[in-house]
Amino acid sequence: MYKAKAYAAAGATTPLAAATITRRDPAEHDVQIEILFCGICHSDLHQVRNEWKDVMPTVYPCVPGHEIVGRVARVGSAVTRFKPGDIAAVGCMVDSDRTCAECQAGLEQFCPNMTLTYNFPDKRASPENPGAVTYGGYSDSIVVDERFVLQVPRNLDPAGAAPLLCAGITTYSPMRHWGVTKGKKVGVAGLGGLGHMAVKFAHALGAHVVVFTTSPGKKDDARRLGADEVVVSRNADEMQKHADSFDFILDAVAANHDIDAFIQLLRRDGNMTLVGAPDKPLAVSGFGLIFKRRSLSGSPIGGIPQTQEMLNFCGEHNIIADVEVIPVQKVNEAYDRLLKSDVKYRFSIDMASLKAE
């Protein structure tokens, strides 16, 4: 075991603050990574504040962070794909059983024995530490099994690449699943961290992209990011112009909102996929789905092979997140700004700032 520096929340209403945690030494298949950048996902905020208590209650202290890019520091004796000095990445998962049908299919996100990167029972914790949970990327280092470590294309800036590990894969995966391609009309609701990645991907895949935003001030940015049209979703007339026309809508809104208003915009057999995860149930009109055989679905993160595919796609298309790089000491302020939709379009923590703690 060794000591690592981190930023942790001690409780649901306590600001994050500097903390010391223990990490395991790398075993034969493990990679120890010195973390360079970690993105701030809205899921970090939901969990730090225990907003998902009914589904996955938060265990404190909580060290969030699942958008991790860093430099390999040490590798175990059996590691073949990484060596010290390599740039490597870790996303939302750090383990799974590798034997179930989901793992065999490369869909580790559905494995019943999967381990999330933070706030999850840690099967690899030491016997002296029963009940320990995993600690995420708001830290100066992390130790992860090689199977859950990703390769980052060399042309991608590490600060902007970090958010690809959650915001990237969570939007890329359902777009691939639902066949977003040239000729499709695709909507993206909520221009935040996930939403802005969705716009970049849908544009790169050749779709006609329409952004739905509650922030009229984001219109120019939406177009710059790749949108063909921008709709202010609180304007019913603007919405009505797009009735019955979308093949696919990705909803990346972090708060409770009217999803029926978007379902009405789908064409026959159109699909809307939720990736945004508000804490309260959302109301859906059955008729909105029935009359046009529309469907509503959800999608969690993405499997490891597809995460690597997404990173390679980003390498080929030169896609990274638009980031505001902050020192870790500004994390609490960043959370407050997230709640005001005041981020362009992802905070990325420069972990070198943790040295000052």
Q: Which residues bind ligand NAP (CB under 6 A)?
A: 41-43, 46, 166-167, 170, 190-195, 213-215, 218, 252-255, 257, 275-278, 299-301, 338, 341, 343
Report phi then psi at 138, rounded to 5.
Answer: -80, 70
Alpha helices by DSSP H, listed for 124-283, are: 158-161, 167-177, 193-204, 219-225, 236-240, 260-263
Out of ligand NAP, Zn ion, none, what residue 5 binds, judged by CB under 5 to 8 A for its kind, is: none
CB of 90 to ligand NAP, least distance (A): 15
Nearer to Zn ion, 41 or 103 (CB): 41
Nearer to ligand NAP, 5 or 46 (CB): 46
CB of 168 to Zn ion, least distance (A): 10
Nearer to ligand NAP, 26 or 174 (CB): 174
Out of Zn ion, ligand NAP, none, what residue 90 binds, judged by CB under 5 to 8 A for its kind, is: none
Residue 37: HSE in the Cβ half-sphere, 13 Å Cα cutoff: 24
In sequence order, what are the residues at sequence separation of 6 or more whose Cβ sits closer than 8 angstroms to the Cβ of residue 281? none
Q: Which residues of the shown chain bind Zn ion in the complex (CB under 5 A)?
A: 41, 43, 166
CA distance 224 to 181: 20
Give the DSSP letter of residue 5. E
Nearer to ligand NAP, 22 or 299 (CB): 299
Q: List Cβ<8 Å contacts ≥24 apart for 80-85.
A: 80/146, 81/146, 81/149, 81/151, 82/31, 82/146, 82/149
CA distance 77 to 191: 44
Out of ligand NAP, Zn ion, none, what residue 331 binds, judged by CB under 5 to 8 A for its kind, is: none
Residue nearest to Zn ion (CB): 41
H-run or E-run covering 298: strand 295-298
Out of Zn ion, ligand NAP, none, what residue 257 binds, judged by CB under 5 to 8 A for its kind, is: ligand NAP
Residue nearest to ligand NAP (CB): 192
CB of 62 to ligand NAP, least distance (A): 15
Query: Which amino acid would we find at residue 319?
Result: I
Nearer to ligand NAP, 268 or 340 (CB): 340
